[in-house]
Structure 1
């Protein structure tokens, strides 16, 4: 995954015994940036933000 466009609850998940690997892959980051730019309303809905 990547944590540039959105920081998830990594510490919480790790504290529950889950192995989390953050790759911060450039292609993944760009895909997310493009999606956020193209669909800001959907993105905000997905992450629980109001416009």
Structure 2
């Protein structure tokens, strides 16, 4: 489940309040995953374009 949250597809159940610790952890993992994926894409793009 952590890998799914990491890629931004969070796992939230219908009966889970948004203030729940699991929901907050899933949101934090999604943001970190987005930042890491964006930096990887930017790095690979710069290397392939020779900049």
TM-score (norm 2): 0.34
TM-score (norm 1): 0.34
Structure with the higher fraction of residues in helix conformation: 2
Report the structure number with the largest CA radius of gyration: 2
